[in-house]
Amino acid sequence: MAIALEYTAGGDDAAGREQLFATIARDLLEKGYSINPCAMAPELAQSLLQKLHTMSERQFVPAGIGREQEQMLNTFVRTDKICWITGESDAGRQWLEWAASLQTFLNRRLLLGLFSFESHFAHYGAGDFYRRHCDAFKGGSNRVLSIVAYLNPGWLPGDGGELVIYPEGVPAGIKVTPALGTVAVFLSEDFEHEVLPARRDRFSIAGWYRVNSSSARRADPPL
Ligand code: OGA
Ligand code: MN
């Protein structure tokens, strides 16, 4: 119940969802990123939180950097641990369905041609960070849209762990508090970003939509 009280918007009804998706589409068109507090439906946030509670730390593995095939551990760049979401649990499936409905909406509204989606839970313990980076490189990866959803009830300003997005011409960046239900979306190639050191456990889901870059000469299947 305490969690439901934190919400002022973003109900699970179809109309609320459409409105959120429309806001994301407009923001992406106008500025390339979209930050939405209280965006995730309380039922979905609850179910993901409960899922996290049932998971053991052993299910999380140190995150790597680079394309999946060339994963490298680099604890100078990032120290979080991750667990890929496969859709085997109810909560995972609900999340993937939600992400798929956003994909369908954005493809219709912005003709983005998003083709596949991959996502993982991430756990940042106290002191963990992810230094300034880009999720895609022009001409390299086919990640076009990044999404991050936060799962931290009662996050306080002193808890750190903010996501900072750096639009061109905004050297100080834009800070996003990783509070329960907040959803941030941005064009993967266009925005460097970082995760400031967290001072307590911080949970998020990070996901990426890809376009299909297979061709007659080069097969590039999704994971
Ligand atoms: C990432 C990432 C941001 C966050 O996993 O690539 O930038 O706030 N995550 O968890
Ligand atoms: Mn990133």
Q: What is the pLDDT of residues 20-68, one digit of tens each?
A: 999 999 999 999 999 999 999 999 999 999 999 999 999 999 988 765 5
Name the pTM for this structure: 0.89
Q: Whose CA is nearest to atom 1 of ligand 1?
A: 206
Q: Which residues line ligand 1 (CB under 6 A)?
A: 122, 130, 135, 148, 163, 193, 195, 204, 206
Model confidence pLDDT, tens digit, residues 146-203: 999 999 999 999 999 999 999 999 999 999 999 999 999 999 999 999 999 999 999 9
Distance CA 180, CA 42 (A): 9
Q: Look at residue 173 and give its three-state secondary structure.
A: coil
- Residue of 37, 65, 75, 41 whose CA lies nearest to 185: 37
CA dist list (Å): 10 to 20, 41, 44, 87? 7, 6, 11, 23
Distance CA 176, CA 13 (A): 25
- Residue of 157, 161, 150, 90 whose CA lies nearest to 128: 161
Q: List the domains of the chain with CATH numbers.
A: 14-210 (2.60.120.620)
Distance CA 41, CA 133 (A): 29
Cα angle for residues 129, 133, 137 (degrees, 5° grid) = 150
* Cα–ligand 2 centroid distance for 2 (angstroms): 30
pLDDT at 140: 67
Ligand 1 atom having least distance to the Cα of 133 = 7
Pocket test for ligand 1, best of 61, 130, 145, 183 (most atoms within 8 A of CB): 130
- Residue of 87, 75, 79 whose CA lies nearest to 60: 79
Model confidence pLDDT, tens digit, residues 57-77: 999 999 887 655 556 678 788
* Cα–ligand 1 centroid distance for 217 (angstroms): 33
Kindly tell me if the per-residue pLDDT of 217 is higher than 80: no
Distance CA 158, CA 131 (A): 19
Q: How many CB atoms lie within 10 A of CB 112?
A: 18
Instruction: Using the structure block, give the residue that is written with the tokens 């097969």.
Output: 219
Name which residue leads in pLDDT, 16 or 6.
16
Distance CA 146, CA 6 (A): 25
Kindly tell me if the per-residue pLDDT of 3 is higher than 50: no
